[in-house]
Amino acid sequence: MARMVTKRDGSRQEFIQEKIVVSALKSGASPQVARRIAKEVESELSEEGTTNDIRRNVLTKLARENKQWEQDWRTYDRAVKRRPE
């Protein structure tokens, strides 16, 4: 059964691992690390998670690998997605 994700606006969609990979790559992670993080996040996700749960998990994993990657993700969120800290 596919894992579902509830977005901030309340809509739901199927979990797509590649979204994490692309975002991690944009933050500076290598392809290998980005794929590993995405796989770990998916394996830790319950049948139904939220985008906020996923975001927190990814940020934690990025920070463990490289603090700058985490900071770059947060900067992108603020600048492009206009997401508060």
Q: What is the pLDDT of residues 15-73, one digit of tens each?
A: 999 999 999 999 999 999 999 999 999 999 877 889 999 999 999 999 999 999 999 99
| CA atoms in the 13 A half-sphere facing the CB of 73 | 24
Residue 17 maps to a domain = yes
Residue type, 70: E
Backbone angles phi, psi at 81, to 5 degrees: -90, -5
Tokens of 79: 């600048």
Residue 27 is part of which domain span?
4-79
What's the domain count of the chain? Answer: 1
pTM of the complete model: 0.86
